[in-house]
Amino acid sequence: MKKWIIALIVLVVIGFGLYNWAVGFNNTAISLNENVAQSWGNVQTAYQRRNDLIGNLVNTVKGAADFERNTLTDVIEARAKATSVNINPENISAEQLQEFNQAQGGLSSALSRLLVSVERYPELKANQNFLKLQDELTSTENTIQTARIRYNEAINPYNNHVKRFPNSILAGIFDFEGKPYFDAETGADQPVEVDFNFDDKES
């Protein structure tokens, strides 16, 4: 009889321990996941700010006489593509983040070509509205980099929590998956190629 009582007590203690472990894991995972979602929201806000500034910049550049249509078209199309990629941080995948990164990288490249092309237009270089937008874009790029770094920093403790054994067992049960990190934008380390052939301007 005593053996059954001891066995029952042991089972209760084990069950209580497993319950506390599961509850602790789940609550911590939820909290860390919320931090990731908040950090991703800051990333999106920073990129949205850049998209808005680029729209204003394009409208300003359109007013310059004889500005290259192709350069503007590239920026407009790249901006449309970048804003069309939407990601839910709750189930973000490496493929989705790569697609987002490529779209934003394409916009960065097109924007860089536009800003270099402005060197050919003294009236734009002297335009106070354009100069202000250019400064704000520079500031926003710094904000984006900071937001991306903080997003990666938020993912690190979350991934450690759900990927390490034995928590990885509960992660599968509670449907918590690891999240991908931001990598550098494709071509971010490459110089912008600009054709300084003035004869190629389009009216």
pLDDT digits (tens, 9 = 90+) for 138-178: 999 999 999 999 999 999 999 999 999 999 999 999 999 99
Q: What is the pLDDT of residue 51?
A: 94
CA-CA-CA-CA torsion sign (186, 187, 188, 194)? negative
Q: What stretches of the chain adopt beta strand conformation (E)? A: none
What is the percent of the chain where pLDDT is above 70?
89
Weakly modelled stretches of the chain, pLDDT under 50: 187-203
In single-letter form, the type of residue at position 77 comes to E
Give dist(CA 99, CA 105) in Å, integer.
10
- Max Cα separation, the chain? 100
**Cβ-count burial of 19 within 10 angstroms (0-12 exposed, 13-18 middle, 19+ buried)?**
exposed
Give dist(CA 57, CA 132) in Å, integer.
10
**Cβ-count burial of 161 within 10 angstroms (0-12 exposed, 13-18 middle, 19+ buried)?**
buried
Nearest-CA neighbor of 32 among 183, 182, 181, 178? 178
